[in-house]
Chain A
């Protein structure tokens, strides 16, 4: 995980400096310019020969967009950086350049788009950060929130009952009212989860800003990540059932 910090600052002095295979050269370019083989110290361009450098596969989206690994980001700043880099890598500016440079700028633009789309959304941003910090968020767990599942399954049953019911009937109307009430309650729970998440985001950022490496800081980090993981997955379940409800009764 540690090597996901800025790849252009990594110095792999031990890497052999010549390679006949151009693809190998591209992969290695995180430490050395693919063109002039000098050490790359700039963000996206070699300072010596001014050639564009490829975004390494190991570059995380935060680094890619020049942002610290924080969970409350200023959307305006993020957008500004995105536009700036989009211009930088825009294919139009590479029309007269070499094929290598065209390929690099195009793939950089693609990575940049994904990075921005991910970081722009607070939930996706948090899921992404969790994946960076702890490996996959998306592990399937066999110790699920049993009550929540019970509740969801029950709601899905009622939803099926409603789908099967004769729409004009009293019974259908009654079920619909029940489901509407449930939907509103779920919406409130989702909002509550989201405000809990926002508190955790703030806690995370505070921890990052403090930059301490004590065992207390370590414990706090683990607490935040664990709670965030649970909340994010609960939120996905709740969100799914809300969508199902909305699609059926509204």
Chain B
């Protein structure tokens, strides 16, 4: 099985690799893993005024998992929270041309997005920011 050009590109030039401080204001962190292969993915978003201004990821796993999370951060940037919720793993599969055995990597990325959004929401609820 060969990786698609897009997967190879994301793998060789991952976008937005890195991390934010977890306790930084407006940062939501999602950490997920796939017991199948032992891949671990961390995806973070930085939110200002309901918009994701930046996103970062760190993934330790196969090329498809790295590409899926790299693509996810690209898509997240500039999106409203509501729009980000709508990103589906099937969108990632389509964009990256993932074969059936690698679909779980895109599921992992979707889960990571959901987890990051949930974490952001939870933090926002706990510490209400002054509404001006």
Interface residues of A (CB under 8 A from B): 137-142, 144, 146, 149-150, 152-153, 156, 232-233, 236-237, 239-240, 244
In the complex the two chains form, what is the Cα distance from A9 to B104 in whole Å?
37
New A-B contacts (16) at CB < 8 Å, excluding given A153-B58, A236-B35: A138-B34, A138-B36, A140-B104, A140-B107, A140-B108, A141-B32, A142-B32, A142-B111, A142-B114, A144-B31, A149-B32, A149-B40, A233-B33, A236-B36, A237-B40, A240-B38
Contact B114 A152 (CB under 8 A): no
Secondary structure class of chain A's binding surface, majority of residues: helix
Nearest-Cβ distance from residue A23 to partner chain B, whole angstroms: 23
| 9 interchain pairs, CB-CB under 8 A | A137-B35, A140-B33, A140-B107, A141-B32, A142-B115, A144-B32, A146-B31, A233-B35, A240-B60
Chain B's closest residue to A236 (CB) is: B38
Residues of A within 8 A of B104 (CB): 138, 140
B15 at the interface (CB under 8 A from A): no
Residues of B within 8 A of A137 (CB): 35
Nearest-Cβ distance from residue A245 to partner chain B, whole angstroms: 12
B42 at the interface (CB under 8 A from A): yes
Nearest-Cβ distance from residue A139 to partner chain B, whole angstroms: 8
Contact B40 A152 (CB under 8 A): yes
Residues of A within 8 A of B31 (CB): 144, 146, 149-150, 153
Interface residues of B (CB under 8 A from A): 31-40, 42, 58, 60, 104, 107-108, 111, 114-115
Residues of B within 8 A of A142 (CB): 32, 111, 114-115
Chain B's closest residue to A138 (CB) is: B36
Identify the interface centre among A138, A239, A244: most chain B CB within 10 Å of its CB: A138
B42 contacts which of A149, A232, A236 (Cβ < 8 Å)? Answer: A149
Contact A141 B115 (CB under 8 A): no
Nearest-Cβ distance from residue A183 to partner chain B, whole angstroms: 16
Residues of A within 8 A of B60 (CB): 152-153, 156, 240, 244
Contact B38 A239 (CB under 8 A): yes
B35 contacts which of A140, A153, A244 (Cβ < 8 Å)? Answer: A140
Chain A's closest residue to B31 (CB) is: A149
In the complex the two chains form, what is the Cα distance from A139 to B32 in whole Å?
12
A237 contacts which of B38, B58, B111 (Cβ < 8 Å)? Answer: B38
